[in-house]
A and B are shown apart, each in its own frame.
Chain A
C-alpha cells in the first residue's frame, strides 16, 4: 500500500502543480474530421510550428486540446492518407479550431515529401501497440476472399492464429480467451462465425483498429494478453451512400447518411453468408440436408446536440445457425447495444459516459425422440465514465471508472419428456474498476505514461456453491441469498511505459504492466467451440494474473520510408487453469472440481520491418517465442510447452500498385507447428488398439506455411460511383497443412497402425464484386 500512496502523490505534483509561467495561457481545441464524410479522425497529430516537440493527438472522438501562452502560431495537422493542413492562429483568447481534412489520393504511390512523412512510431508513447490501417484490410487477401480484421492482425508479430481457419488468436503465448475484443466499447465474447472460419466484424464499416499486446493503458482491463479495440464508422453526415459487395460465400451491404446534415448521421451494415447453398449440391444425404449460415447486423447513429454535447447509439447483432435436418440444431451469437454521451466540461476536460449491454448465447436443439433444448448465455450490463484532462502541452491525464454486472447462465435445459434434467446454477458477478493514467513529456527526449487500474471482482448469490479440495472432492457446501457475497478479489494493476527518443529516427521504449483476468473460458478444443463456457472467479477459482515487461528499439530508415522495431518481452503468469485427465466440462454443475491450477511463463523476440510508401509496400514480421506452463499434476510438475507454443512465426506481406486500376497483393506465412501429445506406444484392450501417452505436449505438429495471392481491379471510379472486382487465391501452392493428426489401425492391414493427417483447406480461389455510391 505504501507504493500506492507515493504513486498518486507523484501524480498530483506533476499534474496540478505544473509550473505555470507568468504569461497568460489560452486553449486551442476542436475536432478533426474527414471533409467528405464527416467521420472523426482518431489519432491525428496536431503540431505547432513555433513550438516543435509540443502538440496533441485527437482522441477516440476526434477531439484535441492544447494550452499555450498567448501569441501567434501556425497549427498543423496530419494523418496518414490525408493532405496536411495549416491554420494561422492569433492566440489572445481560448478558441475552437476545427479541421476538415481531405483525402490525399495516391499518397502511397507517389514519392511523398520527406517532411510530411511521419515518425510517430518513434515519438508516440504506446508500446507493444499496433494500429492497423483500414486500407491494409482492403488489399490483403484472406480466406474465401472475405476481408477479415482478425485474420489480418495475425500477420503482425506476436499475434498468432489459433489454428487453420480459426478466428481465435494467441497474443504473446496467451490463450484465446485472454484477448479483450471491443466493438465500440462493448465486449464481444465470441468474435468468430462458423467455428472460427470468419470473424464477426464487417470490415466495410470499421474506422479504426488498435491492438495492444499486454501493456495496454489503464483504461482497459479484464484480460491478460491483449486488447483489440475496434471502432466503427459513424456514418457520412454530409450525403447518403450505399456500398456493398457480392461474393462467392457471402454478401454485404452498408447504407449511411446524415440525420441532420453536418450534425448527425447513421450507418447500417449487414452481411449474410450462403455457404449452405453449396452444401445442397453434395451427393451425401447428411450434408445436403444441413443448414449452415450466419448473418451480422451493425447499426449506429449519432447526433451533435450542441457544441459541447454529442450522443451515440450503436448496436450489433449476429447469429450463426448450424443444423442437421431437424434432428440437431445449434445456433449462437452476440448482441451488443451502447449509448454514449460526450460532454465537454471545459475545453480541457473531455468526458464520455457509456451505458453498454453485451450478450453472448448459444442454443442447442435436439430431436431424436425426445425434444430437448439447452440455452446458455453470458450477459453484461456496464457503465463506463471516462475523463480526459488536457493539462498542458506536455501532460494529459485520463481517469475514470467502469462497473460491470455479469450474469452467466451456464445451462438451462428444457425437455419435452420429463427426464430429470437439472439446469445449472446461474452465476452473478460484479466487476468494478477505477483507473488513472498520466501521459507526461519530461523533455524532448523522455516521455512517460504511468498509471494504474484498481479492480475488484465479486461473485454473488443466490445459489448453492461448493468448495473443492485439490483432488476435486467437495469439502464444503453453502447456500447464499440473492446479492450475498461469495468471494471478492481486489487487485492493483500498474501500467507504465517509458519512451526515450535517441534522435528523430530512433527511440527506445520500456514498459511494465500487470493484468488480471476474472472471466475464464473453459475449453477443450483448439479452435474454440461456441459451446465453451465462461466461468467467473469464485471461492475455488482465483483470478489469473500476468506481469509483463518489455523492451523495444524503434528505428525509421530512409526518411521514414521504412519503419522498424524489435521488441523483447517476458511474461509471468499466475493462477493458470488446466483440466484433470478426462475432465467433464459440459453441463457439469461441479465443473470447478475438474480444474487444476498452476503457473506459466512466456517470452520472445518480435521483429518488424514495414515499407510504408511507394508502389511496392508491405511488411515482414518475425516472432521467436516460447510459452510454457507448470502444473504439479502434469508432466511431474516440470515446465512444458503450452499447446499454442510456436517457436518461429513469419509473415511477409507485399502490396503492389500496378497502375491506377490494378493492385496486386500477396501474403506468405510460416510457423512452427503447435505443441501436441503423440503416442509413445500402443496396446490392446478387448480387441481394440489403444494408444499409450507419456508426456504432454512433447511433440510438434508439422510446420505450417501458405501463400495467398490477391488482385483488385477498379472497374469504374467516378465522383458518384465506384466499382471493383477482387480476386483471391488462398493457399496458392496448395500446401497440405495439418489440421489434425489422428491414429488408427490400417484398414487393409490391421496389424499396422498409422498416423493420419487431415488437411482443411487446399487451394481455394474466390472472387467478389464491390460497389459504392
Chain B
C-alpha cells in the first residue's frame, strides 16, 4: 500500500519545513566483487528484441557501466523455437527470428565468464489502453497524465506502465497488480511531472504511455526494486527472476501504447 509512503512523506515534509536540511556527504563505502546485470525483454510486437548485459561498478566511479561482451545468449520458446542472439553493439544482444506470442513461455540463457544464467517468463495476453486523458489533481490542480484500461476477470494480472516524454524515457518504477480491481476499469495516473520528476509538464509536451502486461516474477522484481535508494530500513537487492545471483530481469510481456499532447 502506498499509505506508508504517503504519511512518511508528509511527516518528512512537515519537519523539513520547520528546521531540517539535506546535505551531500562523503561516505567511505566498501566495495565488493562485481555483479552481472542482465536486462532482457520479449514483446508481442515485431522484433528484434534486445538483451543488455553489463557489470556493476563502485559507487564513486562515474556512471559508465561496462558492457559484457562475447557472451553466448539464447532465447527459446516452448513451441520449439530457439534463437541465438548476435551482439549488435558491445553488451547489447539482439534476436533475429524470434517472435513474441502471448501465452508462450520464453527461456533466456546467458553464458559468460564461465557462468550460466537462466530465466523464464510467460507472456500474458495484452490489455488495451481504452482512454488516455489529462486529469486535474485535487491537491494543487496539476495536469496528471491518466490512462484507463479494463482488467480481465478471472486471472491475476500484473502491469507495468512506462512513460516517454518527447521520446525520452522517464525513469521510474510503476507497477501494480489487480488484487483490488479484478475485472474492473483501472484509472491510473502517472503524475504531472516532467523528466526530472519535479517540474510540471509544459504545454506541447508529447507524452507516450506504454502499458505492459507482465508476469508475476517480473512484477515481484519491480516491486522489490522500490526502496533501493536507501529509504528502506533493510535495503536489499531486488528479487530477480534470473538465477545464479544475476541482477536485472527477463520479461516476456505484451505492450499497448497511447499518446497525448499536453494542452
Chain A residues within an 8 Å CB radius of B230: 678-679, 691, 740-743
Decide yes or no whether A286 CB sits under 8 A from chain B: yes
Taking a contact as CB atoms under 8 Å apart, the answer to whether A679 and B59 are in contact is yes
Decide yes or no whether A759 CB sits under 8 A from chain B: yes
* Among candidates A689, A747, A761, residue contacting B19 with C-beta atoms closer than 8 Å: A761
Lowest 9 A-B CB distances belong to which pairs?
Answer: A582-B224, A680-B32, A681-B56, A688-B171, A742-B230, A683-B56, A683-B37, A694-B32, A751-B63
Q: Which of B3-61 contact A (CB under 8 A)?
A: 3-4, 6-8, 10-27, 29-32, 34-35, 37, 39, 54-59
Chain A residues within an 8 Å CB radius of B27: 678, 741, 755
Distance, CA A328 to CA B171, complexed state (A): 27
Known: A195-B11, A688-B172, A690-B225. A683 touches B65 (CB 8 A): yes
Of A334-342, A514-522, A525-533, A561-569, the one touching chain B: A525-533
Decide yes or no whether A52 CB sits under 8 A from chain B: no
Decide yes or no whether B187 CB sits under 8 A from chain A: yes
Taking a contact as CB atoms under 8 Å apart, the answer to whether B14 and A292 are in contact is yes
Known: A324-B6, A330-B3, A690-B228. A677 touches B236 (CB 8 A): yes
Decide yes or no whether A487 CB sits under 8 A from chain B: no
Taking a contact as CB atoms under 8 Å apart, the answer to whether A691 and B229 are in contact is yes
Chain A residues within an 8 Å CB radius of B249: 685
Decide yes or no whether A111 CB sits under 8 A from chain B: no
* Among candidates B17, B31, B35, residue contacting A683 with C-beta atoms closer than 8 Å: B35
Q: Which residues of A contact B (CB under 8 A)?
A: 165, 194-195, 275, 278-279, 282, 284-287, 289-290, 292, 322, 324-325, 327-328, 330, 364, 366, 368-369, 419-421, 524-526, 529, 531, 579, 581-582, 586-587, 643, 677-694, 696, 698-699, 702, 736, 738-745, 747, 750-764
Decide yes or no whether B89 CB sits under 8 A from chain A: no
Chain B residues within an 8 Å CB radius of A744: 229
Known: A581-B239, A683-B56, A755-B27. A328 touches B39 (CB 8 A): no
Distance, CA A484 to CA B232, complexed state (A): 39
Taking a contact as CB atoms under 8 Å apart, the answer to whether A763 and B138 are in contact is no
Chain B residues within an 8 Å CB radius of A760: 15, 20
Tell which of B7, B232, B248 has the most Cβ of chain A within 10 Å.
Answer: B7
Distance, CA A698 to CA B23, complexed state (A): 23
> From residue B236, how far is it (CB to closest CB) to chain A in Å?
5
Decide yes or no whether B237 CB sits under 8 A from chain A: yes
Distance, CA A582 to CA B239, complexed state (A): 8
Chain A residues within an 8 Å CB radius of B65: 683-684
> Would you mind naming 15 contact pairs between A and B with Cβ atoms under 8 Å apart?
A195-B7, A524-B4, A531-B4, A581-B239, A587-B1, A678-B27, A680-B30, A682-B56, A683-B55, A687-B171, A690-B238, A692-B35, A742-B231, A758-B22, A762-B19
Distance, CA A11 to CA B170, complexed state (A): 74
Interface size class, chain B: 35 or more
Taking a contact as CB atoms under 8 Å apart, the answer to whether A693 and B237 are in contact is yes
Chain A residues within an 8 Å CB radius of B231: 740, 742
Distance, CA A422 to CA B22, complexed state (A): 41
> From residue A738, how far is it (CB to closest CB) to chain B in Å?
8
> From residue B66, how far is it (CB to closest CB) to chain A in Å?
10
> From residue A754, how far is it (CB to closest CB) to chain B in Å?
5
Q: Digit string of B203-238 for contact with A (CB within 8 Å is 1, else 0)?
A: 000000000000000001001110011111111111
Distance, CA A579 to CA B24, complexed state (A): 31
Of B79-87, B92-100, B110-118, B176-184, the one touching chain A: B176-184
> From residue A121, how far is it (CB to closest CB) to chain B in Å?
38
Distance, CA A693 to CA B18, complexed state (A): 33
> From residue A139, how far is it (CB to closest CB) to chain B in Å?
24
Distance, CA A582 to CA B19, complexed state (A): 33
**5 extra interchain contacts, Cβ-Cβ under 8 A, other than A330-B7, A524-B4, A743-B230?**
A195-B7, A586-B3, A677-B236, A693-B236, A761-B15
> From residue B14, how far is it (CB to closest CB) to chain A in Å?
6
> From residue B192, how far is it (CB to closest CB) to chain A in Å?
13
Decide yes or no whether B140 CB sits under 8 A from chain A: yes
Distance, CA A740 to CA B173, complexed state (A): 22
Chain B residues within an 8 Å CB radius of A582: 220, 223-224, 236, 238-239
* Among candidates A330, A526, A689, residue contacting B233 with C-beta atoms closer than 8 Å: A526
Taking a contact as CB atoms under 8 Å apart, the answer to whether A680 and B29 are in contact is yes
Distance, CA A685 to CA B237, complexed state (A): 13
Distance, CA A683 to CA B169, complexed state (A): 17
Distance, CA A677 to CA B225, complexed state (A): 15
> From residue A116, how far is it (CB to closest CB) to chain B in Å?
46
Taking a contact as CB atoms under 8 Å apart, the answer to whether B63 and A689 are in contact is yes
Taking a contact as CB atoms under 8 Å apart, the answer to whether B180 and A419 are in contact is yes
Taking a contact as CB atoms under 8 Å apart, the answer to whether A681 and B238 are in contact is no
Residue of B nearest to A275 (CB): B14
* Among candidates B31, B139, B181, B224, residue contacting A286 with C-beta atoms closer than 8 Å: B139
Decide yes or no whether B62 CB sits under 8 A from chain A: yes
Chain B residues within an 8 Å CB radius of A677: 234-236
Taking a contact as CB atoms under 8 Å apart, the answer to whether A755 and B20 are in contact is no
Chain A residues within an 8 Å CB radius of B155: none
Taking a contact as CB atoms under 8 Å apart, the answer to whether A758 and B20 are in contact is yes
* Among candidates A287, A289, A322, residue contacting B7 with C-beta atoms closer than 8 Å: A322
Chain A residues within an 8 Å CB radius of B234: 524, 579, 643, 677, 696
Chain B residues within an 8 Å CB radius of A739: 20
Distance, CA A764 to CA B20, complexed state (A): 10
* Among candidates B23, B138, B180, B248, residue contacting A757 with C-beta atoms closer than 8 Å: B23
Tell which of A285, A287, A582, A753 has the most Cβ of chain B within 10 Å.
Answer: A582
Known: A524-B232, A526-B233, A758-B22. A680 touches B31 (CB 8 A): yes
